[in-house]
Chain A
Amino acid sequence: MNNSSGGRGGHYSDRGHYNDRGNDRNGHNGTAEVIAVDVGSTWTKAGHFVLRDGRLSLVRRASTPTTVEHLPTGVLELVRILRTADNRVPAAAANRGSTAVPGRSAEAPAGGACPVVCSSSAKGGLSVVAVGIVPELTLAMARRTALSAGARISRVFSYELTEDDVRTIDQINPDIILLTGGTDGGNRQYVEHNSALLARLSARPHIVYAGNRAMTDRVRERLTAFPLAIAENILPELDAPNPEPARAAIREIFIRSITSGKGLDDLRQLTAEPVEPTPLVVYEFVGALSRLESEWGGICVVDLGGATTDVYTAGAQLQADGQRVVQKGPPPPDVLRTVEGDLGMRVSAPAAVESRREFLSGPHSPAGISRCAAGMSDYAAELRARPAHLPQSDAEHARDRLLAAACVTGALERHAGRQREVYTPQGPVWVQTGSDLRELRTFVGSGGFLAAEEPDALTPLFRCASLDERGRTILLPDRWRWLRDRDNLLPLLANAARRFQRAACLAAADHWKGGTP
């Protein structure tokens, strides 16, 4: 297959993803309802929402262990459960661990032929290898673009690829390679070299080329053996990032090809919208929330999982003003997603303890916490070995809290931009890289642990460093409002938002403030 789309002005360029204006659509049959499904690596979850008074309310939810051998099985089971009026779970399904729970709002109409919207992060999600030239320029853009498309970055490569790198990529066997490098009319040498090396891969991943436009023909000629998509350059000029076309190309590949590789194509007849990567759906939702909930003054969502900590921010005043503050590197995007693969509550617990050593050995105000810090390494090793483990004692619970704090603060510190003060003879000037998040006020904690934990017990531990290891100011706020995604509705609401954007945003706002969707 070769789904090249031409260079600049290719057909991906001007396509917005969802209805950005926030007006909501009814289902095909005129009903204002939707069943949202999120296929996670361990659990598949679904919720049936109806539109009431301009808000979505949750009628019922159901979950089942993800059916890894055939992902649609679990999805179909949940849809069947939600489309029947009562709360009965078929015996066979119950035996497998499926459950159904009524929502907080009373009357529960049957889901009938309710449209279904689904996203997936199962089977490793969407794995991308990014190739660029300068780490702070095209490679930074490639990384940012892949993350915004909902990918998991398996590896990044700057400058020239080597034979060893090619073998490494073969081992990783990613879903997609994002090949970038050079501004338009700029550097050719690295793409020339890197495309030649990629041609030697034994694996046949999708390749998205989004580098110097002048090299398009060369790349196409070199990589005929691969399913290749050509998108506009992610960095046509140094100060004019252009991530959307490459992002759209990645999304398109996920929908058209990768979902079938993961066995999700059987869902095509069932779902009203294509199956998308869950982080992409959440990314769009965070952007919509920041536009619709302007009183929040920007929003940050922290999704703390067993293996990674994802951070999404939108709507803050991200860019430097250019006067007293000089911005360096590609200007920050409107919605920023970062993923920390070494910060997580279970599989990544040992890595988290390792990379957050300094935080963990620092002072922890709530009584008793400091004592827990001592045994963290052993506890983390145990968690990695038994990822399903739940804390069995107060001491273990305290350790979980401390580990969560280490991950959240670490991920936020890395997500935020930096400023360095430069003393010039006529006064100080700040040089900024990345996003200025100091005006952000609303933080939402999501993912199993953060959803379950009372913020009051947790947030006193969230103490971020103000300076990084190079003495630069970390651009995080000094006060915030911490909301939690009780009941873990974020991925479901984000999917529901694909049909009812405004109503899903309002429901999320209510829910996080403590209301009842």
Chain B
Amino acid sequence: MRPCVIVLGVIGSDCHAVGNKILEAFFSDRGFTVVNLGVMVSQDEFIDAAIETGASAVLVSSLYGHGEIDCAGFRDRCIERGIGDIVLYVGGNLVIGKREPAEIQQLYHSMGFDRVFGPDADLDSVAEFLAADCAAKAVPAR
């Protein structure tokens, strides 16, 4: 089987680079083919990269608190650009201030993200979810 291709990046004007590097190292180590777009990535750049690389999943990071604005309409844009069925995850410090995790989940689910993670996410279980979700959607080779 082809290794699962995933696209990583930090969305919007967010410059927090450390977590992104850690995610790249972690998922590469777990056998994923990682396409890392780094920091300050726009929605279209994520989608462009996913199309060219035939990625199964896009993992969006947002650390600086503006995720709610930057991520709005992400799934719709994927649909519009022809990759509506791609696996979408989001993680990091997704909102400003203290808010209930369930509320944050709800917020990002409504934008079309399949799974939503906080800054303390257990990456091992993320990797398991990811492998399963990609296999489930195993789109006939995009």
Q: Tell me, yes or no, whether A binds B.
A: yes
On A, residues with C-beta under 8 Å from B are 133-134, 136-138, 159, 181-183, 185-189, 212, 235, 237-238, 326, 328, 422-426, 429, 431
The yes or no answer to B39 lying at the interface (CB within 8 A) is yes
Quick check: A134 and B15 within 8 Å, CB to CB?
no
Closest CB-CB distance, A229 to chain B, in whole Å?
22
Partner of B142, one of A134, A188, A328: A188
> For residue A183, which residues in chain B have a CB less than 8 angstroms away from its CB?
35, 52-54
B39 and A326 within 8 A (CB): yes
Q: Does B51 contact A (CB under 8 A)?
A: yes
Q: A136-B48, A187-B142, A189-B141 are in contact. Are A429 and B13 (CB under 8 A)?
A: yes
In the complex the two chains form, what is the Cα distance from A183 to B54 in whole Å? 8
A133–B48 CA distance with the chains assembled, in angstroms: 9
| CB contact under 8 A between A189 and B52, given known A326-B38, A326-B39, A429-B13 | no
**Residue of chain B at shortest CB distance from A424:** B13
With A and B bound together, what is the CA distance between A276 and B117 in angstroms?
Answer: 57
Is there an interface contact between B13 and A186, defined as CB atoms closer than 8 Å? Answer: no
Specify which chain B residues have a CB less than 8 angstroms from the CB of A423 in the assembled complex.
13
State whether A429 touches B49 (Cβ < 8 A): no
Pick 14 A–B contacts, CB within 8 A, sort by A. Answer: A133-B51, A134-B51, A159-B82, A185-B5, A185-B33, A186-B52, A189-B142, A212-B54, A235-B52, A326-B39, A424-B13, A424-B64, A426-B15, A429-B15
Given the contacts A188-B142, A431-B40, A422 and B13 also touching, CB distance less than 8 Å? yes
A189 to B51, CA, bound (A): 9
Q: Pick the 3 closest A-B CB pairs, nearest first.
A: A186-B53, A187-B54, A186-B54
Q: Which among B5, B40, B48, B141 is the interface contact of A134 at CB below 8 angstroms? A: B48
A sample of 11 more A-B contacts (CB under 8 A), given A187-B53, A238-B35, is A134-B48, A138-B52, A187-B52, A187-B54, A189-B54, A212-B54, A237-B35, A423-B13, A424-B64, A426-B15, A431-B40
Q: Looking at chain B's contact residues, is the secondary structure mostly helix, strand, loop, or mixed? A: loop
Please determine whether B54 and A188 come into contact, CB atoms closer than 8 angstroms.
yes
Most chain B CB atoms below 10 A, which of A133, A159, A187, A212 = A187
Q: How many Å lie between the Cα of A188 and that of B51 in the bound state?
A: 10
Count contacts on B: residues with CB < 8 A to the other chain: 24
Most-contacted residue by chain B among A212, A422, A424 (CB, 10 A): A424
Bound CA–CA A423/B66 (angstroms): 13
Note all chain A residues with C-beta closer than 8 A to B53: 182-183, 185-187, 238
A324 to chain B, nearest CB (A): 10
Residues of chain B with a CB closer than 8 A to A212's CB = 54
**Pairwise interchain contact A137-B48, C-beta atoms closer than 8 A:** yes
How far is A177 from B3 in the complex, measured between Cα atoms in Å?
31
Distance of B33 from chain A, by nearest CB (Å): 7
Contact of A185 among B2, B49, B51 (CB under 8 A): B2
CA–CA, A237 and B39, complex, Å: 18
**What CA separation (Å) do A328 and B38 show in the bound complex?**
10
Residue B45 CB within 8 A of the other chain: yes
Question: Which residues of chain A have C-beta atoms less than 8 A from B49's C-beta?
Answer: 137, 238
For A328, what are the chain B residues with a Cβ–Cβ distance below 8 Å? 45
Q: Which of B33, B35, B40 meets A429, CB within 8 Å?
A: B40
Complex alpha-carbon distance, A429 and B82, angstroms: 31
Question: Within the assembled complex, what's the spacing in Å between the Cα atoms of A185 and B5?
Answer: 9
Separation of A72 and B40 alpha carbons in the complex (Å)? 55
